[in-house]
DNA sequence: CTGGTTGTGGAATGGATCGTCCATAACGTA
DNA sequence: TACGTTATGGACGATCCATTCCACAACCAG
């Protein structure tokens, strides 16, 4: 009996995300979002509550997506390819940053930086996301160890934390202004220094094989 | 002949920094700063211009301090101690994040995240800072290589970029909610995986010697 | 076709915030 | 001691922004 919505919720959230991503939480006005989505303020508030709730929604979806990308890249597959999956993931993250010419960075980092201190919801969600990524990386590192691509004496938990740090760090230094080529190199270097199979060393200064990513 | 200022400029900037640090650029009101510093708005505007100029001042000073800390820890000293200087620096940065119970993070990262996209001055200053840190790290890595603490076949430029990424990443994952102990471990792991002297491996899972930092 | 219910969008509201203004205070000089 | 100059700080004005409100539109059951 009621009048149905004339907008696609997913699409509206997408536009809203673009706005928050581009100008941060405090920096975007609800008018901006209204203009960007084509919705009136009434519809916006009716559908999503207030600005805070809308941001939580967008932020939460983003966090979910971040974990899903990692899952897609890392989960499921033979141990023999675990190392390649790890390398692919790290390179993908570096490429994302390197090709982010607008220097928008990652909404997760941006949102956490701006709000995690003031907004427990944001803080909690970003912490959850980190833990999820950590688990995915640890599992994959263990797999690579079983196949002998990573020194089995190393603690997978610690290596996972290091890789997560590198991935998040790449995003940070990218936003801080390091050149795209440098960013890409960092991913290679990080992978190269991971302890290889027993006693062997990976090429520490090796170039990333063309087309691997 | 004129009436002299009744406030200490350095101290006012310090208070202003606390505010910006705690609540970000958009999140702090000039009234907050006035209250925090005890100055009236007239004096504030008379002495520092507008909010943007004041922030640039604070941000710039912070960047200078970041580089100075690194210089203090890294520069000058025999090659034989270069490795220890590097380790000390990385541990110091990790400790800063680990003990930052308020999760304020680093003003450099926070400011860059919030503004580098909109404010060329901030973007430029943060990029400069990254380059300066990179140079310091590279120099020190070269020194450690000369003394045989780091594989001389490795590219110091690349290792420096990796270390910088780890340092900035530690700050990011710390703010994102990783546990302090994990943060400390990351610093250890990062140092452990750096390629040791020719063919040898550093203890990849080794614990940080007590009291080294 | 009609009424009830919900969506829509723009105008209005109320509070907050940046920056200015000005009367006054404090200082050095003559 | 009197004067010119600059600092001070609180009140003020103009703007901005999140949220609410309301008149109207669209839909569907009966």
pLDDT of residue B210: 43
pLDDT of residue B200: 58
pLDDT in tens, chain A (213 residues): 677 788 899 999 999 999 999 889 999 999 999 999 999 999 999 999 999 999 999 999 999 999 999 999 999 889 999 999 999 999 999 999 999 988 888 999 999 989 988 899 999 999 999 999 999 999 999 999 999 999 999 999 999 999 999 999 999 999 999 999 999 999 999 999 999 886 555 644 444 444 443
CB A12 within 8 Å of CB A39:
yes
- Identify the CA nearest to B70 among candidates B145, B30, B114, B129: B129
pLDDT of residue A200: 58
Q: Within 13 Å, how many C-alpha atoms sit on residue B52's CB side?
A: 7
pLDDT of residue B144: 97
pLDDT tens for B156-212 read 999 999 999 999 999 999 999 999 999 999 999 999 999 988 655 564 444 444 444
B38 contact to strand D (CB, 7 A limit): yes
Dihedral sign (CA B212, A171, B145, A141): positive
Q: Which residue is it, tokens 């270390």?
A: B163
Nearest beta carbon to residue B151 from set A118, A134, A204: A204
CB A194 within 8 Å of CB A159:
yes
D chain positions with any atom within 7 Å of a protein CB: 4-11, 16-23, 25-29
Nearest CA in chain A to B200: A199
Q: Kindly state whether B190 is in contact with chain A, defined as any CB-CB distance less than 8 angstroms.
A: yes
Whole-angstrom Cα distance, residue A39 to residue A21? 19
Q: Kindly state whether B106 is in contact with chain A, defined as any CB-CB distance less than 8 angstroms.
A: no
CB B202 within 8 Å of CB B148:
no
CA–CA distances in Å: residue B1 to residues A143, B4, B8, B9, B204: 77, 9, 19, 20, 67
Whole-angstrom Cα distance, residue B122 to residue B118? 8
Inspect the interface and report whether the beta carbons of B103 and A116 lie closer than 8 Å: yes
pLDDT tens for B93-103 read 999 999 998 88
Q: In what helix (H) or strand (E) does residue B127 lie, and over which residues does it extend?
A: helix B120-146
pLDDT of residue B197: 83
pLDDT of residue A44: 95
B115 contact to strand D (CB, 7 A limit): no
Whole-angstrom Cα distance, residue A46 to residue A43? 5
Q: Which residue is it, tokens 């200053």?
A: B125
Residues across chain B = 213
Q: Which nucleotide is nearest to B5 (CA to C1')?
A: D7
Nearest CA in chain B to A129: B176
Average pLDDT, chain B: 91
Alpha carbon of residue A74 to chain centroid: 13
């Amino acid at each position: 009996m009621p009048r149905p919505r004339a907008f696609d919720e997913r699409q509206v959230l997408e536009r809203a995300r673009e706005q928050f991503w581009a100008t941060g939480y405090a920096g975007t006005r609800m008018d901006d979002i209204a203009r960007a989505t084509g919705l009136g303020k009434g519809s916006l508030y009716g559908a999503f509550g207030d600005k805070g709730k809308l941001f939580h929604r967008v932020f939460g979806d983003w966090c979910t997506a971040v974990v899903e990308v990692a899952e897609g890249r890392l989960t499921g597959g033979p141990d023999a390819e675990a190392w390649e999956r790890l390398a692919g993931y790290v390179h993908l993250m570096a490429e994302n940053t390197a090709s982010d010419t607008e220097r928008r960075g990652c909404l997760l980092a941006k949102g956490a930086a701006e709000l995690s201190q003031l907004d427990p919801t944001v803080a909690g969600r970003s912490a959850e996301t980190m833990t999820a990524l950590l688990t995915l990386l640890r599992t994959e590192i263990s797999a690579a160890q079983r196949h002998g691509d990573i020194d089995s004496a190393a603690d997978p938990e610690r290596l996972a934390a290091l890789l997560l740090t590198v991935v998040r760090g790449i995003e940070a230094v990218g936003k801080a202004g390091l050149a795209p080529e440098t960013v890409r190199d960092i991913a290679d270097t990080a992978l190269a220094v991971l302890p290889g199979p027993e006693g062997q060393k990976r090429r520490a200064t090796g170039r990333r094989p063309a087309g691997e990513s």
